[in-house]
Amino acid sequence: MANASLPTPRQRLDTLPFDNRFARLGEDYFTRVLPTPLTNPRLLHANTRVADLLDLDHEVLHTPEFVQIFSGNRVPPGADPIATVYAGHQFGVWVPQLGDGRAILLGQLRNARGESWDLQLKGAGRTPYSRFGDGRAVVRSSVREYLCGEALHHLGIPTTRALSLVVADDPVQRETVERAAVICRVAPSHVRFGHFELFYARGQCARLAALADHVIDEHFPELSGQPDRYIRWLECVVERTARLIAQWQSVGFCHGVMNTDNMSVLGLTLDYGPYGFLDGFDAHHVCNHSDEGGRYAYDRQPAIGHWNCVRLVQACLPLLAADVQQAAEIGQAIVDRYPAVYAKAMTDLWRAKFGLREARAGDPELMNRFLTLLHRGHADFTLSFRALASVRSADDDTAEALRARIPDAAALDAWLSDYRARLRSEQSDDAARRAAMNAVNPKYVLRNHLAQRAIAAAEAGSAAEIERLLEILAHPYDEQPEHAAYAEEPPAEARHIVVSCSS
């Protein structure tokens, strides 16, 4: 008799099956380090959806033992805390050694479905890679990451997530004195492009191969032991990265710090700092106040993704062939996959956003004209696409919500005439198209002013706004009329919230 109907066994804290397989690579890849205890740690919020990924019993989430473990004050049985070492290109500048300066990997947990999850404490104190930092995170930045991992996950975008958010009394100096916090980040892996760059730069080809084999064996098992496994694995990473960034672009998400040490080898959104979702559309929007040159502007993210993939493949050239020229040619062929994969993913996503079923030669121009209208009028990106879904193919008044957002009425009318003709040419069904568009154009995104509201409440000791936002953002494509205020543009006084690398 099948066991499919049996409930999943729930894990208790004293029997968590930790297994730090990354640590078995050897100490060239990390340093063992214990978290630094916090003063008076207390749970601000626990994410039951992520607890379910780990088969954790919900009852343990609010116990003193849970707070002690996930604040870093107590190492659970079986955990092997480490901080990993890597390098990277930061704002295009090579930095020969970085590492987990404020994150400590406890190990991996495998759930009943066979999925393996890294548990990493961010903000757990100094490590050998903290350089001049204190190894701490603050409530402000921790709330932002805690919320955004869930926001992107429910938008269908690959991402790290977080199990818990613990706050404490310890003062932390940033621009001002803030309070310490720790989140437990959860992901299949936290291995970055920069891990490979480090060993390439050091000329340690054996270490490079061992790391690649670890990633392949853990996350690409179909490639394990294959003679061409490194080529096929890198092709997967490049393609995943291209599709990830296409997804970011489609919902107006700006990462803010696309350094190679912030890029995941699994194609996950990694390291939430000065991110932001577009409000008024500006194709050149720079969400990170620290990015004075605009390197990571919204419209530059696709090209930076390609540049970063070039750095990863370059770091892995010794794995591709013994002959240097042959390795370079293979590597070039791998990175050359990025533009076509990105273009297809982006075109497919935009076509879905516009409700176009069929591919037509004039579609890119039609879609770009609409984006130009948004850009010129600084129209709200999310709400404009949501309003577009209500436009019928007939010449009627269903475009009024869109007209209210785009100030150039004449240019909009000319575009609408062409758009409606395009819809009629494929005999588009208005109701079906609206439903399909609303399924890919979110109504709710994590705007900076919403995150700031949750931060203010958290700093006052309340998790109510975090809980409310998590519930709303879990259903970003639904109307949720009772929460309509959370879909509105930011009020005037909140339109100039600044985020930086300290965020």
Binding-site positions for Mg(2+): 262, 271
Q: Give Cβ neighbours of residue 243 (< 8 Å, ≥ 6 apart).
A: 267, 341, 342, 345
Give CB contacts under 8 A, 24+ apart, made by 359-362.
360/422, 360/425, 362/422
Distance between CA atoms of residues 330 and 23, nearest Å: 31
Distance between CA atoms of residues 398 and 392, nearest Å: 6
Tell me the residue length of the chain.
503
Residue 407, phi then psi, degrees to nearest 5: -70, -25
Distance between CA atoms of residues 154 and 158, nearest Å: 9
Amino acid at 446: L
User: Tokens at residue 53, please?
Assistant: 């990924």
Q: Is 261 a catalytic residue?
A: yes
Instruction: Report the 10 Å Cβ neighbour count for 425.
Output: 12
Q: 117 - beta bridge partners?
A: 109
Q: Which residues are annotated as a binding site for ATP?
A: 99, 101-102, 122, 134-135, 185, 192, 271
Maximum CA extent, the chain: 68
Instruction: Select which of 261, 279, 291, 380 is catalytic.
Output: 261
**Spatial CA neighbour of 123 closest among 100, 149, 148:** 100
User: Tokens at residue 493, please?
Assistant: 């006084």
Active site residues: 261
